[in-house]
Amino acid sequence: MKKAIFGGTFDPIHIGHIHIAYEALYSLKLDKILFMPAGNPPNKLNKQITDSKIRYDLVNKAIEGEINFEISEYEINKKENSYTYETIELFSKLQPKTEWYFLIGADSLIDLDNWKNVDRLLNGCQLVVYNRAGFALEKILKQKNFLESKYHNKIIFLDMPIIDISSTSIRESIKEGRNINYLLPKGVEKIVEKLKLYK
């Protein structure tokens, strides 16, 4: 069994996230993508984030009916900060016969050397990085080579078309009263409207 953990605040989840998940699923021949909404990410402690239960519901609605997608509430149920290496080590123990992958964006790759226990993270899973708008390919590959050399682990670069959508831009568009339904998975926009999120 080959599974990839796709972590993020998903505030809100959008079609770009689903696109990334399917690209990873097909390119890496994975069995499952495990979406994992972040609880208390250390890198966003000073930012206002939508309640974790709501973000969980948004993701759950977005992947409804998708047989290759799953969701985990592990990180949102943690009281303390969520560190990726801890998540990987726990799931490796819970499912020792699973080959684990972890999906991150180019922005996270650039900052990865500042994460806690990077060596344990890279030893516990196969790291997969996807490109994001605003990041030069040369810079990404340079950082990838640096990290591979430093930690003696290979990192997979997922070469895929970029959909230039961000949760930040969606939140800003909602504040401005713009229609963003076409950027959200089916059903997600109804929850956003019902709860008057990001107004």
How far is Cα 185 from Cα 16, in angstroms, rounded to an integer?
9
Residue 128 pLDDT class (50, 70, 90 cuts)? very high
CA torsion 47-48-50-53 (nearest 10°) is: 70
- Within a domain: residue 194? no
8-64 pLDDT per residue, tens: 999 999 999 999 999 999 999 999 999 999 986 665 555 788 999 999 999 999 999
- Average pLDDT of the residues of the chain: 94
- Within a domain: residue 63? yes
How far is Cα 156 from Cα 101, in angstroms, rounded to an integer?
10
Number of domain units in the chain: 1
User: Average pLDDT for residues 76-93, to the nearest whole number?
Assistant: 92
- Within a domain: residue 103? yes
- Within a domain: residue 62? yes
According to the model, what pLDDT value does residue 40 have? 66
Outline where DSSP puts E strands in the chain: 2-8, 32-37, 69-71, 99-105, 126-130, 155-158
- Within a domain: residue 171? no
Would the pLDDT of 191 be above 80? Answer: yes
According to the model, what pLDDT value does residue 46 have? 57
- Within a domain: residue 186? no
According to the model, what pLDDT value does residue 196 have? 95
Domain carrying residue 138: 2-163
**CATH code at position 61:** 3.40.50.620
- Within a domain: residue 157? yes
- Within a domain: residue 172? no
Would the pLDDT of 183 be above 60? Answer: yes
